Structure 1
Amino acid sequence: MTTTSGSPAPPRIRRIQFLSLSLLVLSGAINYVDRATLAVANTSIVKDMGLSLGQMGLLLSAFSWSYALAQLPAGALADRLGARRLLGFGLIAWSIAQGAAGFVQNFFQFVVARILLGIGEAPQFPSAARVVSNWYPPAQRGAPTGVFNAASPLGSALAPLILTQALLVLDWRWLFILTGLAGFFAAALWFALYRDPADLPLTEEERAYLAEDGAKRETETVTFAAWAALFSHRATWGMMLGFFGSVYLNWVYLTWLPAYLVNERHMSLASSGLMASIPFFCGFVGCLVAGWLSDQISQRSASPVLGRRRAVALAMFGMAAFTVPAALAESNAFAVFCISVVIFLANAASACSWALATAVAPPNRVASLGSLQNFGGFLGGALAPIITGFIAQTHGFAPALLVGAGFAFLGALSYLFLVRAPIKA
């Protein structure tokens, strides 16, 4: 690993970078397995608790509403408190909420558990953006951003593959209990192994490597006024509106794909688990490819903002284009292929969007801007399962998918026309 000037990263920094990304991928994968548990157990819960598709849509969205709102303080807290404390306590909180969902007795209690899960999981990606901005120079943040973002499709792919098999032999409640225990394990590892730059005695060589951005920024305090000032910039609104479209379409598939394959495509529970995992494994590859590619585009563009913005918009246009045949195709195999391309591009767009936040934000507000973008995205994530559930209940899944394609197309336009230049410190 080298800086923009060509000097290699010191050996200890390289070890910290590898360890940090490994822990972020572990916690992020558990994060998304926890989110997807409800989607995988969807049909079993509907039968056991007597819920309608509309009610399940509301239940699937409860997480996203609280997650989106919790993004507002999460980014500022990550910048102010540091990633180690915020993500560590977030892991503990969301694991408690996830395990509690295995003991709910009615719809209201389930909604409360999902709301608390959203609050607990909110620090994951703002903290990850902060970790990358702490330990990597600006021109090299695309690849590590792609790596930590790859945890989301990895978790989404593993969830139907593992949990569907568990559901064949266990009651659905055990899925929530066991995944909650996995979160406690990740929290213990995070607290034991990760440190922020301010917590370590750095050598002169290490400080020189980080001086361009990371080590200096660790001492800068983010005030409420500085956080609120982000709303006065067009780029902030462009990123929020753009990510709304990206996350909306992604969450249509994330929350409804297993049920869609069973109810609309008439697949068995066992086969739907395998088919639902394929698109998300493609998404895992999409994050890794996009992170590396966005670095290459950024280094060859007039500015990092221009290169990363173009990468986001191109991926989102592709998401919209491939959703149309996914919705209308008669062949199940071709539909799954198109959905796989959409999820590949959705996760590529997500990785590029978080890398874009590190290019647009002032150095001491990277997590703050990233969390505002994520707030806009998860307003889309909150609406997607509700709108999809009610459209599917009355008109079928195809119109619901086409609505998602329209939101993704409009989101791409928001990135192109509103995100033009970095925000000055």
Structure 2
Amino acid sequence: MAVELHGRTPRIVRTQRIALALLVLSGVVNYIDRATLAVANPLIREELGLSVGDMGLLLSAFLWAYAFSQLPVGALVDRLGPRKMLAAGLGLWSLAQAAGGFVTSFAQFFAARVVLGIGEAPQFPTAARVSRDWFNPRDRGTATGIWNCSSTLGTAISVPLLTFLMLWVGWRWMFIVMGVLGIAVAALAYVVYRNPSEVALTREERAHLTEGDTTGETSHLTLAEWRRLFAYRTTWGMLLGFFGAIYILWIYASWLPAYLQMERHMSIARTGWVAAIPFVFGVLGSLLGGRITDVLARRGMRPIDSRKWPMAISLAGTGVFTALAAWMPSDAVAIGCISVAMFLCYVSTATGWALVSVAAPANCTASLGAMQNFGGYLGGALAPAVTGFIAEASGSFTPALLVGAVLCIVCAVAYATIIRDPIPAAELDPAGVVAPAE
């Protein structure tokens, strides 16, 4: 304890606060940019002559690009560091976002959304690496909950903000304004943030940041070590669990405004604030989820278990309340159920990301987080298109919501049963002699 207190210097505290502020700010911009297409859905369909199925494909274009960019991006973050990758990703996705204001066809919009997905890919693997770099294991859950809440905070802000911008300057200028804002944030991140290797830390400060780690550390991430991560059941459990969490999240993120207008017959103006309510609950879920992991770890639970069980339980609960929302005839009760589902969904994503910081060696943190996010966004990429086609074929969103609910429960069981132990550095190092126990 003495080492921890002595090593947590004012410089460490200041760096932690700056890092979290930048991650929250960039994460909010990230999710506002993702929501532009969903909010402008009716107007874009009318102007460009697109069907509901076409919009589902456009929504999925971003997600497929985002998902498949995760695997190389995670390795790049571990090799190049968060500072470069965060700024580069922000700059690229903001240019793509601005380009969305100039499109005149489905093909052009599709290309812009693909580039947006590639640019946004480094955001959360970078954030996971920042948590590992600048926080002690007993504080990483709370830190993760804070930056993870940017996703739901951004979504909550996005609906009223983007609705206002869209009604004021039109949907095209809405895209352009957000692109310019993102470029400014990218410049700020590069100027302000520093990797630990760029700071002359004392021995006590380094001891504080690593005290309590059980996985160890490799000197430099190699391709062999990266590939070896796929040999562990922990990696596959994280992929499967996140598939369900992000699938249901993207049903709401991409279709909630349209669901309220088409299924619940709400006006665009009313949708602007009603659709924000569940995401406010998501902010609370993210903050609570991160905090729960630290409390459980400090009370003696293994770090990996303090993340695993809250994630699995909350994900199953998300499925239950999504099913209830689908069946409720009352608009108010349905919104209440969706709000609880979003609260639990963000508990699950926060605890899932918190697991990344204790499940593998430090120099594999972003890579493992990206692998988990890859699995998640395979689900996320399927969700908008599957939901759109089911709704178009059945004339209702109820079957699509029930599909998402079942997936949540199945993936929660997979997460709870497959994940067992963290991945130690000795087993990833090609020179090591210990083979994977799985």
Query: What TM-score, normalized to structure 1?
Result: 0.97
Q: CA contact under 8 A between 2:28 and 2:154: conserved in structure 1?
A: yes
User: Corresponding residue for 2:123?
Assistant: 124
Q: CA contact under 8 A between 2:39 and 2:257: conserved in structure 1?
A: yes
The question of 1:203 aligning with 2:202 is answered: yes
Q: CA contact under 8 A between 1:25 and 1:150: conserved in structure 2?
A: yes
Identity %: 51
User: Corresponding residue for 1:358?
Assistant: 357
- The one-letter code sitting in structure 2 at the alignment partner of 1:143 is T
**For 2:134 and 2:221, how far apart are their aligned partners in 1?**
19
User: Corresponding residue for 1:160?
Assistant: 159
User: Corresponding residue for 2:428?
Assistant: none
Q: CA contact under 8 A between 2:3 and 2:204: conserved in structure 1?
A: no
- The one-letter code sitting in structure 1 at the alignment partner of 2:406 is G
- The one-letter code sitting in structure 1 at the alignment partner of 2:407 is F
Superposed counterparts of 1:309-388, under 5 Å: 309-388=308-387
The question of 1:406 aligning with 2:406 is answered: yes
The question of 1:114 aligning with 2:113 is answered: yes
User: Corresponding residue for 1:169?
Assistant: 168
Once the two structures are overlaid, the 10-residue window that deviates more, 370-379 or 160-169, is 160-169
**For 2:137 and 2:44, how far apart are their aligned partners in 1?**
45
- The one-letter code sitting in structure 2 at the alignment partner of 1:201 is A
User: Corresponding residue for 1:397?
Assistant: 397
Q: CA contact under 8 A between 2:246 and 2:379: conserved in structure 1?
A: yes
User: Corresponding residue for 1:266?
Assistant: 265
**For 1:409 and 1:5, how far apart are their aligned partners in 2?**
39
Cα shift readout 1:135-176 (whole Å, capped 9, x = no counterpart): 011121000000110000011001101111222222111111
User: Corresponding residue for 1:136?
Assistant: 135
The question of 1:415 aligning with 2:415 is answered: yes
Once the two structures are overlaid, the 10-residue window that deviates more, 12-21 or 358-367, is 358-367
Q: CA contact under 8 A between 2:3 and 2:207: conserved in structure 1?
A: no
Summarize the Cα distance change of 1:419–1:232 in structure 2 as closer, same or farther, 3 Å threshold.
same
Once the two structures are overlaid, the 10-residue window that deviates more, 298-307 or 400-409, is 298-307
For structure 2, the residue ranges without an aligned partner over 5 or more in a row are 426-438
Q: CA contact under 8 A between 1:10 and 1:205: conserved in structure 2?
A: no
- The one-letter code sitting in structure 2 at the alignment partner of 1:106 is S
How many positions carry a matched residue from both structures?
423
**For 1:203 and 1:84, how far apart are their aligned partners in 2?**
21
- 1:411 is displaced (CA, Å) by 1.0
User: Corresponding residue for 1:308?
Assistant: 307
Summarize the Cα distance change of 1:233–1:208 in structure 2 as closer, same or farther, 3 Å threshold.
closer
Q: Alignment partner of 1:141: what SS?
A: helix
Q: CA contact under 8 A between 1:290 and 1:351: conserved in structure 2?
A: yes
- 1:6 is displaced (CA, Å) by 5.2
- The one-letter code sitting in structure 2 at the alignment partner of 1:41 is A
- The one-letter code sitting in structure 1 at the alignment partner of 2:398 is A
- The one-letter code sitting in structure 2 at the alignment partner of 1:420 is R
Q: CA contact under 8 A between 1:102 and 1:173: conserved in structure 2?
A: yes
Q: CA contact under 8 A between 2:217 and 2:362: conserved in structure 1?
A: no
- 1:299 is displaced (CA, Å) by 2.5
User: Corresponding residue for 1:232?
Assistant: 231
User: Corresponding residue for 2:77?
Assistant: 78
- 1:210 is displaced (CA, Å) by 2.8
Summarize the Cα distance change of 1:228–1:355 in structure 2 as closer, same or farther, 3 Å threshold.
same
- The one-letter code sitting in structure 2 at the alignment partner of 1:246 is A
User: Corresponding residue for 1:15?
Assistant: 14
- 1:307 is displaced (CA, Å) by 1.7
Q: CA contact under 8 A between 1:53 and 1:393: conserved in structure 2?
A: yes
Q: Alignment partner of 2:188: what SS?
A: helix
Q: Alignment partner of 1:422: what SS?
A: coil
- The one-letter code sitting in structure 1 at the alignment partner of 2:268 is L
Summarize the Cα distance change of 1:311–1:185 in structure 2 as closer, same or farther, 3 Å threshold.
same
**For 1:389 and 1:403, how far apart are their aligned partners in 2?**
12
**For 1:346 and 1:120, how far apart are their aligned partners in 2?**
25
User: Corresponding residue for 1:30?
Assistant: 29
**For 1:246 and 1:405, how far apart are their aligned partners in 2?**
10
- 1:358 is displaced (CA, Å) by 1.3
**For 1:317 and 1:5, how far apart are their aligned partners in 2?**
36
- The one-letter code sitting in structure 2 at the alignment partner of 1:282 is F
- Aligned-pair Cα RMSD in Å: 1.7
Cα shift readout 1:188-245 (whole Å, capped 9, x = no counterpart): 110111000101122343233235489x989821001100001111111111011001
Q: CA contact under 8 A between 1:62 and 1:382: conserved in structure 2?
A: yes
Q: CA contact under 8 A between 2:12 and 2:134: conserved in structure 1?
A: yes
- The one-letter code sitting in structure 2 at the alignment partner of 1:128 is A
**For 1:303 and 1:356, how far apart are their aligned partners in 2?**
11
Q: CA contact under 8 A between 1:134 and 1:213: conserved in structure 2?
A: no
**For 1:301 and 1:387, how far apart are their aligned partners in 2?**
42
After superposing on structure 2, the runs of 4+ consecutive aligned residues of structure 1 that deviate more than 4 Å are 2-8, 216-219
- The one-letter code sitting in structure 1 at the alignment partner of 2:63 is S
For structure 1, the residue ranges without an aligned partner over 5 or more in a row are none
**For 1:300 and 1:3, how far apart are their aligned partners in 2?**
19
Q: CA contact under 8 A between 1:3 and 1:209: conserved in structure 2?
A: no
